[in-house]
Structure 1
Amino acid sequence: MTNKQTNYELSRPIVPGESIQEALTTLGMTPQDLAVETGQESDYVINVLAGTAAITPDFAEALASVLQVPAKFWLAYEDQYQRLQKAMH
């Protein structure tokens, strides 16, 4: 048996909001529902989903309670996305 590792290169960094949107779809929630559940403005949530606003520590904590994914995951995801964006430009 061979243990072969395959490396994948992304053509673009994946916006954390894309993963959040997938989770919302699975849960049957809208961005507006997420805004209410997290206590954030709808515009902010929509901008996070679009990748035009960063995930803040407060929003990461609120996401953790709604999506059951640790806040540190969302913050690390955002940090990685921002670093990759800068590296591409």
Structure 2
Amino acid sequence: MFNPPHVGEVLREYIDQTPIEIVAKESGLSIARLSDVLAGNTAITPDDANGLAKALNTSSQFWLDLQAQYESKQSADL
């Protein structure tokens, strides 16, 4: 069965070698918040998704869909 990744895993691929400070500045997320997402310690919010979309030239819906898929799988596993 498909195990959707946490948003942080996908985000790590998107930012690749870009320093976290640059992504944080361009997205409007604090470095601490971005670090928590990257580590898989927290879910993203709609505001986070909007910031990531702006910084990474994606859609906010992309990030929200990833979050929803991850949460759906986690709920199903309970």
Shorter-chain TM-score bucket reads: 0.7 to 0.9
Cα offset, 1:88, TM superposition = 1.5
Residue 29 of structure 1 aligns with which residue? Answer: 18
Residue 5 of structure 1 aligns with which residue? Answer: none
Q: Does 2:7 match 1:16?
A: yes
Cα offset, 1:86, TM superposition = 1.8
The structure whose Rg is larger is 1
Residue 47 of structure 2 aligns with which residue? Answer: 58
Cα offset, 1:36, TM superposition = 1.4
Q: 1:69 aligns with which of 58, 65, 72?
A: 58
User: SS of the counterpart of 1:51?
Assistant: coil
Q: TM-score, normalized by length of structure 2?
A: 0.86
Residue 79 of structure 1 aligns with which residue? Answer: 68
Deviations 1:23-52 (A, max 9, x none): 111xx3122221111121111101111221
Q: 1:40 aligns with which of 29, 33, 38?
A: 29
User: SS of the counterpart of 1:14?
Assistant: coil
How many residues matched?
A: 78
Contact 2:29 / 2:51 at 8 angstroms: preserved in 1?
no
Identity across the alignment (%): 35
Task: Provide the rounded CA distance (Å) in 1 between the counterparts of 2:59 and 2:9.
Answer: 17
Q: TM-score, normalized by length of structure 1?
A: 0.77
Cα offset, 1:67, TM superposition = 1.1
Residue 6 of structure 1 aligns with which residue? Answer: none
